Every structure is written in C-alpha cells, then in structure tokens.
Amino acid sequence: MSKEDEIVVAVAGNPNSGKTTIFNEITGSAQKVGNWTGVTVEKLEGIIQYRGKKIRFIDLPGTYSLSAYSPEERIARDFLLYEFPDVVLLVIDASNIERNLYLVAQVAEIGHPMVVALNMFDIAEKEGLKIDVENISQLIGSPVVPTIGTRGTGIPELLERLLETAQNKQHPKPVKFPDEVEDAIVQIEDELRVVGSDTTLAPKCHIRRYVVEKLLEGDENLIKDVLGVFPNQKAIIDLIDERRNQIEKLFGSDINSIMAQARFAWASGVFKETVSRKKRKQKPITERIDDILLNRWLGLPIFAVIMFIMFYLTFTIGGFFADYLDMFFGWFAQWAAEKIILLGGSQLFASLIADGVISGVGGVLVFLPNIAVLFILIGFLEDSGYIARAAFLMDKIMHKFGLHGQSFIPMLIGFGCSVPAVMATRSLRNHRDRLTTALILPFIPCSARLPVLILFAGLLFPKNPSIIVFSMYFLGIAVAFLVAFAMKKIFWHGLSSPFVIELPKYHKPVLRIILRHSWFRIWAFIKKAGTIILLGAILLWILGNTPIGVKYASEQSTAGMLGKSVAPIFSPQKIEWQGVVALIFGFIAKEMVVSSLGVLYGTGEENLSDMMNADFPFPVALAFLVFAMLYTPCIATLAAIKSETGRWRWVIVSVALSLSVAWIFSLVAYQIAVFLS
C-alpha cells in the first residue's frame, strides 16, 4: 500500500473527555503499545482499514492545553507541530463544552485539518444542554460530530468526516487576537519569511502563525528549536522582545494572560452562540451523589467500606474459581510427570516439568481469578468517576503526612502494578512531591503481592482470610504514609503544592469497556507468568537439583546453601532458609515468592499450605508476610524509579528504605504474634 493510501489521525482531548474510549471504540484490539521517544509516557497506536485507506490513529496524552509545561502537554504539542498528521480528531466533553473549547482554540491555531467529536452527548442532553452542532461547526471551521463513546454512537459518521476532511484538507479558523497582537504576529511572521523558511517548521496551514504566537509568548523550547536555525537570531529575538513589551505596556498585563484571555473569550463566545440550557427543576445527579459521597462526615467511612468490599470480593469470588484452577494444576503436574516417565523420559526431566515448570508457573496462575476480579473492580471505580473523588477525599489527610493530594492517583494505580504507578508520578509538577511519591510507592500492595497474601492469609486465618487481606493492604498504606511523614520532617520542609483536580461527572460503567481494559492488564500478568516467572522457576529448580546427587531442594542443594547464607539476617524472625530463598527470588517478580515456595516444597498451591505448616508457625508466617508485603516489589519497579528520577542514587535509597522498613515491621509483627500466642 502506497504512502498516499495511509492517513495519520492524531487523537487529542482533555482528560476525562472519553478520548481513549473513542480511540478504543474505533481501533478495537488492533492496538500497539509503546512509549514516546525520550520519555516513559505510554504511546497507543491503532490501525484500521476503511474505504480502501489505511488509517493510523495516534492517541496523544490527555491534556488541558498545549502550553508544554508538563511532559504530556509537550508530547501532544510537539506531535502536532513536527509530525504533521493528516487530520486531528479532537474529542471534547459535550457536558463541559465551554472549558473544553479552550483546547479547541489552541489546536485550531496550529491549523491542521480537524474534526471535533462532541462526546458524552447523552449526558449533555440529560443536563438540559441544547447544542447547535451546525453553528459550532461553522464558527470553528471544522466538522463537528455528536458521539457517545461508551455505546459507539456517532463512530461511523466520525470516520466519514475524518476521511473527508483529510482528503479535502479543510483547515479550521484560527482565533483572532487583539489588533495590536495580530499586527505583531504579522510583522514577526514576515521577518521569519524574509530570513528563510528552510526549517523543521515547513509552511503548512497556520503553523508558522502558531510558532510566532508561541515566540511572542516567550516559549523557551520553541525559541531554541526554531530560532536556532536562523543566522540573525539576536535581531529576531530583539524584535520579538520589543513588540512584546509594547503590547504588555499597552494592555497593562503580561502577554501570556492577554492571549489566554483572548482564547477564553473566543471559547465563551462560541458557547453563548451555540449552547442554551433548559431551566433545571433539581440538582444534577452528579451533585446529588456528591452530597453524600463527599460529605465531610460520611465521605471517608464510605470510602473505607468501598475498599473493604473490593478486597472482600477479590478474595471470595476470585477464591472460588482459584480453587478449581488449583486442583487442575495439581492434577496436571502429576499427569505430566507420569506421562513423561511412561514415554521413557528420565525422572529428572519429569521433575523439571512437574516440580519446576508446572508447580512454579501454576502456583502463580492459580491466583489469576483473584487478580482479574481486582482489576475489574478497580476498572468499575475508574469508569464510574469515583476515583477522582477518592483522591479529593484523601487530600487533606495526605497533606498532613507531607504528600500531595494528587499522589493518591499513583498510589491507587499501585494496587494494580507499581511500574505504571511510578510512571504516573510525572503528573506531579513539584519535584519534591514527585520524588516522595515514587519512594513510597513500593510499600503499596500491588497485584503481584496478591498470590503471597492469599497463600498466607489462608495459612494464618483459614476461616476468615479476608481480615488478613484487608489488614495487609491497610498496613502497606499506613507504612507509606508514615515514611512520607518521616521524609517530610527529615528532608523536606514547608507545605506541599496545592491540589487541584477535575471531578468528572458520574457515568454508568460500561462492562464491555471495563472488561477490555482489564483484559490488557490480565494479559500482562499472564505474559509475565510465561516469561519471567517461568525462567525463574526453572532456574530455582536447577539450584534445587545441584550439585548432582543431592536430594531435591534440600539444605545441601545450591538453593539451600544460598538460603542458609542469608538466613542469619532473618534469625530474629525465625524464618527458615526456604522462605529466605523465596524472598530473594521475589526481587525478580513478587509472584515468584509463591512459585519459589512451590518449587522448593515440590508441590502446587493446593497442598502448599499443608507442606509449609511445620516451617511457618503463626508468628513466623506473619513476619514473613509482612516482610513480603513491604519490601521492593520487583526489578521493573526499580528500573521505573531510575527512569523517572534520572539517578541511581534514588534507586539505592528505595531498596535500602524498603528493606530496612520491611525488616523492622516484620520483627515487630513477629514479637507481637509471639506475645499473643
């Protein structure tokens, strides 16, 4: 297929506008996940075939503006500026249309052919908004399509308009600034055109105009990128400074405020011209729900109950299916060993497959139902709009412990996986807030710790294991807060930056979308079981069978000697060498704690609790569980901390901090358990 037959669509929009829902609805499973060059912000691409054309959709990070203050804003702005997409699909929230129009103004200034998706159109109608779609289209100069992303409504028309706009190269109308600003833009634009146009910003649409606007606003990144190619850079900068000073003196305000006010005025004008609201008979449903869920007395207790229910269902529903998986892997390991021997295979090879591969990987996959339930429940909370409320509720408490309110979002993501949680800290603009959050995230119980937690919860409280599950999650959060408080008192002083968050409207969760997002996370867990955990299980089996001739996984094996060499560190907690080996392998991936125990005890999870009873009495089991829940989640988390902080020093600090805190709390847990026993 020739290049002419491919259309590149940049999908842009505000956070909570349903941008990614529209992207998923169009591309389905035909997606490729990667990272943007030079950063760890996730990059999503999807390709579809439509009317003989290959259409490549690029999902840009959600952003409120193109000011390039945050990594997300810089990525979105730079892609639109340097990559020249054929058309921009700009998704805006129809129920919050006036605020969303500010981003429309900025994208229109860049000038690529554009199609606007008025998403959540049903919510806007329920709230009494009457939107003149045709009038908005005329004022913007681009097609506008009402959509309901969660139902797929409007998607066929959206694809038609995208194809038509890309082929006709229909450009939007740029925002008009005050005459004095417009005169300055024209003068500087003419100067750049006279000096030369052979730059990375080849003339296209209004891009040259947009660049001049940003130069006038003093955008340091563009000054460096654009003016660096001109021979008389100083003369152009002097002209820009002169015109900026004249404008600021005339209006009595800085240039950024003047131009921002013009964009807001444009957005307000379009809104007033095209949107009317019916008189409300009562409060909107979102406000009525918030009166209860955000109540100063009821909000936090309701949040605690929701969290308890989430973990209770994770254990009970997931445990029901896990029991059947458990029996399957136990039967499969025995059947595989017998078959291999019947076919003439050696006892050693049968042991590798049954005790190493099946017991190791199966011992982790048996908890897949629990993890699936957790991801689905978190997805339900995300899709409903409750997650942002939870962050708002926790803000006051978090500030007292030296944490930014927005730190709650990475912490919540941390319940799923610590790696994207650490990456999410980049949304915090203050370096201190970012660093503190990254260093405490390893204490948040991720889904990889769930197999360890479920195994030992059944060992400690077989009649009511959900109490241990909830207690360990509470412990992880409490320790994270205490460490943040200590860091505030010892290293950081003063208040954290203020917390501002948009509370999206409540949505009826769409099961299809929740299941699709959950599947991506579950599949990542399965891939880890099939790669890292499989290799780790085989390696541990080899260590348990060497030197040749020793009894499998005995104290005389390499695994036994490794465990015994480190075991003195855990002698106060009375943790035996098998547990120590499992903790060492847990550094690779926390799921390997359970798979390692399965390999060392030569059994699947079905009989693992019975096999471990002798080595793990109540105080020892509790100490082991506390340590496993608090120390470094995995190597991948350390790599993410290095990527986000840029220094190995903070990786070392993270490892030392988590190990020391985990050891101290496990010893305290052991002593308390001994006292109670």
* CATH code of 154's domain: 3.40.50.300
Q: State the sign of the Cα–Cα–Cα–Cα dihedral 604, 610, 615, 616.
A: positive
Of the pLDDT bands very low, low, confident and very high (cuts 50, 70, 90), residue 391 is confident
> What are 499-518's pLDDT values in tens digits?
566 677 787 887 877 887 78
Q: Where is pLDDT greater, at 471 or 220?
A: 471
Neighbours of 241 (CB within 10 A): 12
Q: What is the pLDDT of residue 196?
A: 47
Q: Are 137 and 233 members of one domain?
A: no
Task: State the Cα–Cα distance between residues 374 and 413, nearest whole angstrom.
Answer: 12
Using alpha carbons, list the distances in angstroms from residue 323 to 327, 370, 457, 533, 607: 6, 11, 15, 21, 11
Domain end among 103, 138, 168: 168
Residue 528 CA to residue 632 CA, distance in Å, equals 17
Q: Which domain holds residue 247?
A: 179-277
Q: What is the pLDDT of residue 480?
A: 92
Q: Is the pLDDT of residue 129 over 70?
A: yes
| Residue 202 confidence class, pLDDT cut points 50, 70, 90 | very low
Is residue 23 within a helix (H) or strand (E), and if so which, with residue range? helix 19-27
pLDDT in the model for residue 499: 57
Q: What is the dihedral of CA 517, 424, 499, 401, to 10 degrees?
A: 110
Average pLDDT over residues 122-146: 90
The domain boundary, picked from 210, 245, 277, lies at 277
- 261 in a domain, yes or no? yes
Q: Is 51 exposed, middle or buried (0-12, 13-18, 19+ CB in 10 A)?
A: exposed
* pLDDT of 552 above 80: no
Segment among 47-51, 239-243, 488-492 with least mean pLDDT: 488-492
Smallest CA-to-CA distance from 590 within 622, 558, 621, 636 is with 636
Q: Are residues 69 and 185 in the same domain?
A: no
CA–CA separation, 549 and 650 (whole Å)? 44
Domains held by the chain: number = 3
Radius of gyration in angstroms for the set of CA atoms belonging to the chain, rounded to a whole number: 29
Residue 383's pLDDT is 81
Quote the CA–CA distance of 149 and 196 in Å, as a whole number. Answer: 45
Domain-located, residue 344: no
Does residue 290 lie in a domain region?
A: no
Chain-wide mean pLDDT for the chain? 81
DSSP character at residue 96: G
pLDDT at 292 over 60: yes
For residues 81 and 160, membership in a common domain is answered with yes
pLDDT digits (tens, 9 = 90+) for 108-121: 988 889 999 999 99
pTM over 0.85: no
Judgement on whether residues 318 and 271 belong to the same structural domain of the protein: no
pLDDT at 610: 67
The pair of three-digit structure tokens given for residue 614, joined into one six-digit string: 């002798």
- At 381, list the tokens: 């909370």
Looking at residue 603, what is its pLDDT? 58
Q: Using the CB atoms, write b or e for 636-649: b if 16+ within 10 Å.
A: bbbebbbbbbeeee
Domain end residue (candidates: 242, 261, 277): 277
Residues 364, 308, single domain; the answer is yes
The helix/strand/coil state of 213 is: helix
If asked whether residues 374 and 251 sit together in one domain, one would say: no
pLDDT at 203: 41
The answer to whether residues 156 and 186 belong to one domain is no
- State the pLDDT at residue 595: 74
Same domain, 482 and 578: yes
Confidence of residue 618 (pLDDT cuts 50, 70, 90): confident
In sequence order, which residues have a C-beta less than 8 Å from that of residue 279 and are 6 or more positions away? 128
Is 446 a domain residue? Answer: yes
User: Is residue 301 exposed (0-12), middle (13-18) or buried (19+ Cβ within 10 Å)?
Assistant: exposed
DSSP string, 605-670: HHHHHHHHTTT--HHHHHHHHHHHHHS--BHHHHHHHHHHH--HHHHHHHHHHHHHHHHHHHHHHH
In a domain, 351, yes or no: no
> Do 519 and 404 fall into the same domain?
yes
When comparing pLDDT for 139 and 316, which is higher?
139
- Find the farthest-apart pair of alpha carbons in the chain and give their distance in angstroms, rounded: 93
Q: Tokens 């017998």 identify what position?
A: 338
CA 371 to chain centroid, in Å, comes to 17
Domain check: are 233 and 324 in the same one? no
- Residue 47 forms part of a structural domain: yes
The pLDDT of 417-437, averaged and rounded, is 77
Q: What is the mean pLDDT of residues 547-552?
A: 74
pLDDT at 270: 92
Instruction: Choose the weakest-confidence range: 192-201, 445-454, 549-558, 600-609.
Output: 192-201
**Residue 125 and residue 269 in one domain:** no
Going by pLDDT thresholds of 50, 70 and 90, the confidence category of residue 36 is very low
Rounded distance between C-alpha atoms, residue 465 and residue 454, angstroms: 8
**Average pLDDT of 96-102?**
89
Asked if the structure places residue 84 within a domain, the reply is yes
Residue 475 sits at φ, ψ, to 5 deg, of -60, -45
Q: Is the pLDDT of residue 217 over 90?
A: no
Sheet containing 114-119, strands listed edge to edge, beginning at the edge strand earlier in sequence: 31-35, 42-50, 53-59, 6-13, 87-93, 114-119, 144-146
* Stretch 587-595: mean pLDDT: 76
- Percent of the chain predicted with pLDDT > 90: 18
In this prediction, residue 200 carries a pLDDT of 46
pLDDT number for residue 117: 94
What pLDDT sits at residue 666?
A: 95
Name the residue with tokens 């060993």. Answer: 337
DSSP bridge pairs for 54: 6, 49
272 with 159, same domain: the answer is no
Q: What is the predicted pLDDT for the residue at 482?
A: 92
Does a structural domain hold residue 346?
A: no
Average pLDDT over residues 279-296: 81
